[in-house]
Structure 1
Amino acid sequence: MTATSPRLKHEVKDLALAPLGRQRIEWAGREMPVLRQIRDRFAQEKPFAGIRLSACCHVTTETAHLAIALKAGGADALLIASNPLSTQDDVAACLVADYDIPVFAIKGEDNDTYHRHVQIALDHRPNIIIDDGSDVVATLIQQRPHQIADLIGTTEETTTGIVRLRAMFRDGVLTFPAMNVNDADTKHFFDNRYGTGQSTLDGIIRATNVLLAGKNIVVVGYGWCGKGTALRARGLGANVIVTEIDPIRAIEAVMDGFRVLPMAEAAPVGDLFITVTGNKHVIRGEHFDVMKDGAIVCNSGHFDLEIDLKTLAEKATEVKNVRPFTQEYRLNSGKSIVVLGEGRLINLAAAEGHPSAVMDMSFANQALAAEYLVKNKGKLQAGLHSIPTEVDQNIALLKLQAMGIEIDTLTPDQHEYINSWTSGT
């Protein structure tokens, strides 16, 4: 860790890791053509000139490209980690050493350090907050309401964060605009489904090296992240069981060919459990009691509350590390439960997170949402705002062009037809 007196300029594991970080950032950039085009435009137009921006994100190679684009656009940008286990230390070092971006993130940082970094993000007195999970926004509202006057708005790209922002708005404390990046089509259709699906199983395999074919895999939650996880697990030969609280999503899972059970019935038959709900304690003490010996549980939701690890620890007579990011809890009954990644996002704890081709669109949304807030300063009402449809579609079009794929356009006659009510059969 490096500091300058009296205030930290950055806090990363080791600046000597920067060359490796730069190499990996450049590799990721090969599959991020949309964000590259946005960065080039930002460099010319400087939409963030004079703007202080604090970003709370997973510090990965893909996030590096977002941070670089924002700085190219003139932002006085600062970056902290949004999860204690998601930081890639070489990337954090490179952003400091090669791009002069203040970064406060260390893989494995404890909760006190994480919360101190949230305070540092607010010490920056941001005009724009880019948040993952809304911890920075929640801390601002609860502890520093006097700084809200500095704020133009915030962007949020996690399901968990959007749930929290909606609760803030219902309680009357969200008094500024918030861009709902998570619900943009070019975000949740691709990032949540294909990104989470692939990277979650990647993290599980790296942590355990178990064969997934033939296993009973219980996917807890069938939102977009759950859909992607279930799809990829089935593709690897697993017998997939889905648990849900939403009847419409449950029907969808059935129609997609998955077995749907209540968690009480899934717990005794599952070999591997993956939580992707955004809610707390969806796997609890009564579920641990009936699980198989050696059952594996992990989480791919944003926070580490989905699995009730406190109750599991109370039931355990011994907890030991059996592999990196893999802990075995030995219970009084003699059986064991294996927990991956301390219950944190397994795709970032044990692997590298979403592929860069997916994050290209997600971070394009983040960058353009932040620009939208600045361009519309003082014009937007408090509360959640969707990404404009034309922005969403333009991101998709840029991605298609980068992939060398062309699509049809409406003929004048077709355009007139779909905008008219007088033409019939």
Structure 2
Amino acid sequence: MEIAEAGERRIDWAARAMPVLHAVGARFAAERPLDGLKIAACLHVTAETAVLMGALGAGGARIALAASNPLSTQDDVAAALGDYGIAVHARAGVDRETYYRHINAALDIGPDIVLDDGCDLVNTLHTERVELLPGVIGGCEETTTGIIRLRQMAAERALRFPMVAVNDTRTKRMFDNRYGTGQSTVDGIMRATNTLLAGKTVVVAGFGYCGRGVAERAKGLGARVIVTEIDPVKALDATLQGYDVRPMAAAAELGDVFVTVTGNRDVIRGEHLVLMKDGAILANAGHFDVEIDVRALEGLAAAVHRGVRPSTDEYVLPDGRRLLLLAEGRLVNLTAAEGHPAAVMDMSFSAQALAVTWLVREHQGLEPGVYDVPPEVDTEVARLKLDAAGVRVDTLTPDQEAYLHSWRSGTA
């Protein structure tokens, strides 16, 4: 707790760049839409998350928070949140057993609402804490990986309550996934390795919004970018944007830096690792540590040198080639850096907070399943962000409004 003061300073700094969430929190404080509700959250315990917790608390919620990644917790922020009266179960660098113990401790609150980032909390609730399911009215999911798992649960009729796909809003995908992941991933790679990206070949696995953001940032810093994809439409998009698109087997021997951003497992496997050049850097920006086959890497290595740089382990192959694994194959942007800039998380977390109040209002009419955030919530977040930036936009005239809602009008 002696580091709580440093955490408070970090939270205050993040809050400066989060005017939308500040406005939402002020509204919550006045209206108290969450009075009497208990929220169990499994999110990255960062300064930006702390601002979200403050807004939900201002709305009257009682909150228990666990970390959604064993390496991403900012310990000073966790300490500060404890001072704010939020039950925090998180510490940086915990093992798998402690990670899940923390999730279970957050669930001990007996939640009405759950907030998840990767679906580990919801999964634990459905497999180990089923006695709590009747009390849950719904929840929100923040990541692509989590949405994939939730949709599969819904398809198998295993999901027992409604979940809102916050990740799938336009403000989340276009700005958080693209600009946030792009900048913070490159930031993590550079902090960990101090490498110069200009002139390097960067291989980006996956060309969704996150992969597109990483590719754009790397290209902007002077790197040659190769994209690998399984989706023909995304591969075509990357090709028409000027990127070199190849299978991973063909890209493996060319890359200097590899970044996985797919939400799937074993994207870089042993068959790829054996082709890589000396000094190749391996980084993951997908949610879980399964995109790079770390076990295969350990099996191939003749020696492993831990911590040759911050968040950097060196694996030496029998022929002397060295492969550099960042952040143990976990999220490089939250382990080696500080995650998305606060200005980006301002929109994602505002959408999350407003989605919670929508759930509270509408849950009785919702069946178990995965729901999109209502478009009006997404639009409100964007409008508040523009207002905070002093940006004005056009509005439709009555004639324009009528034209858009009529099928009779055509060529003048």
Same fold (TM over 0.5): yes
Counterpart selection for 1:420 from 380, 403, 406: 406
CA distance in 2, matches of 1:238, 1:246: 23
Question: In the alignment, which of 353, 356, 368 is matched to residue 370 of structure 1?
Answer: 356
- Secondary structure of the structure 1 residue equivalent to 2:191: helix
Instruction: Indicate the residue corresponding to 1:337 in structure 2.
Output: 323
The residue correspondences of 1:32-43 to structure 2 (distance < 5 A) are 32-43=18-29
The one of 75, 82, 86 equivalent to 1:101 is 86
For residues 288 and 164 of structure 2, the distance between their equivalents in structure 1, rounded to whole angstroms, comes to: 21
Q: Residue 67 of structure 1: CA displacement?
A: 0.4
- The offset of 1:324, in angstroms, is 1.2
Question: Among the aligned pairs, what percent are the same residue?
Answer: 57
Question: Could you tell me how far 1:376 is from its partner in structure 2?
Answer: 1.3
Matched, 1:85 2:64: no
Please tell me the root mean square deviation across aligned C-alpha atoms, in Å. Answer: 0.7
CA distance in 1, matches of 2:233, 2:266: 22
CA drift of 1:263 comes to: 0.3
Matched, 1:46 2:19: no
What secondary structure is seen at the aligned counterpart in 1 of 2:177? helix
1:122 Cα deviation (Å)? Answer: 1.6
* Counterpart residue type for residue 254 of structure 1: T
TM-score, scaled relative to structure 2: 0.99
Equivalent of residue 338 in structure 2, options 326, 348, 352: 352
Q: Match of 2:382? A: 396
Q: Which moved more, 1:367-376 or 1:276-285?
A: 367-376
SS of aligned partner of 1:179? strand
Structure 1 residue runs of 5 or longer lacking an equivalent are 1-14
**Distance in 1, Cα, partners of 2:259 & 2:359:** 36
Cα shift at 1:146: 2.3
User: For 1:145, which of 130, 133, 137 is the aligned residue?
Assistant: 130
Q: Deviations over 1:225-262 (max 9, x none)?
A: 00000000000000000000000000000011100000
1:75 to 61, 85, 98: 61
Select 2:248's aligned residue among 256, 263, 267.
263
Partner of 1:10: none
Report whether the alignment pairs 1:190 with 2:179: no
Specify which of 162, 169, 172 is matched with residue 147 of structure 2.
162
Distance 2:274 2:193 in 1: 22
Q: Secondary structure at the match of 2:364?
A: coil
Is 1:117 equivalent to 2:94 in the alignment?
Answer: no
Secondary structure at 1:38 match in 2: helix
User: Is the contact between residue 159 and residue 368 of structure 2 (CA under 8 Å) also seen in structure 1?
Assistant: yes
Q: Which residue of 1 aligns with 2:286?
A: 301
Partner of 1:66: 52
My pick for the range that moved more, 329-338 or 246-255, is: 329-338
CA distance, structure 1, for counterparts of residue 44 and residue 239 of structure 2: 33
Q: Is the 8 A contact 2:199 2:222 kept in 1?
A: yes
Deviation of residue 46 (structure 1)?
A: 1.0
Partner Cα distance (1:401, 1:84) in 2: 37
Measure the CA separation in 2 of the matches of 1:24 and 1:176: 35
Give the deviation of 1:206 after TM superposition: 0.4
Q: CA deviation at 1:144?
A: 2.0
Instruction: Determine helix, strand or coil for the equivalent of 1:182.
Output: helix
Q: Which residue is equivalent to 1:220?
A: 205
Distance 2:41 2:242 in 1: 40
Deviation at 1:378, TM superposition (A): 1.3
Distance 2:262 2:198 in 1: 24
Q: Which segments of structure 1 move beyond 4 Å, counting only runs of 4 or more?
A: none
Q: What SS does the aligned partner of 2:204 have?
A: strand
Deviation at 1:336, TM superposition (A): 1.3
The amino acid across from 1:320 in the alignment is H
Deviation at 1:175, TM superposition (A): 2.1
Structure 2 unaligned regions, length at least 5 = none
SS at match of 1:112: helix
Give distance in 2, aligned partners of 1:391 and 1:123.
30
Residue equivalent to 1:281: 266
Amino acid at match of 1:160: T
- Per mean C-alpha deviation after superposition, the further-off stretch among 158-167 and 368-377 is 368-377
Give the SS at the match of 2:410.
Answer: coil
Separation (CA, whole Å) in 1 of partners of 2:158 and 2:106: 20
Q: Using the alignment, how far apart are the partners of 1:118 and 1:80 within structure 2?
A: 5
Q: Which residue of 1 aligns with 2:309?
A: 323
Q: Does structure 1 conserve the Cα–Cα contact (< 8 Å) formed by 2:64 and 2:107?
A: no
Q: What is the CA-CA distance between 1:121 and the residue it aligns to?
A: 1.6
Q: CA deviation at 1:104?
A: 0.9
Q: Shift in Å at residue 26 of structure 1?
A: 0.7
2:202 maps to amino acid:
I
Give, as a single letter, the amino acid of the residue that structure 1 aligns with 2:360.
Answer: V
Q: How many residues align?
A: 410
Preserved contact between residue 141 and residue 167 of structure 2 (Cα < 8 Å): yes
Which amino acid letter does the alignment assign opposite residue 275 of structure 1? T
Shift, 1:44, TM fit: 1.1
In 1, the alpha carbon distance for the partners of 2:129 and 2:95 equals 23
Deviation, structure 1 residue 193:
0.1
Contact map agreement 2:162 2:363 (CA 8 A) in 1: no
Contact 2:315 2:325 in 1 (8 A): yes
Give distance in 2, aligned partners of 1:216 and 1:187: 28
Corresponding letter in the other structure for 2:93: G
CA-CA distance at 1:377 after TM superposition: 2.6
**Equivalent in the alignment of 2:188:** 203
* Alpha-carbon separation, structure 2, partners of 1:234 and 1:377: 44
Confirm or deny: 8 A CA contact 2:42 2:117 kept in the other structure.
yes
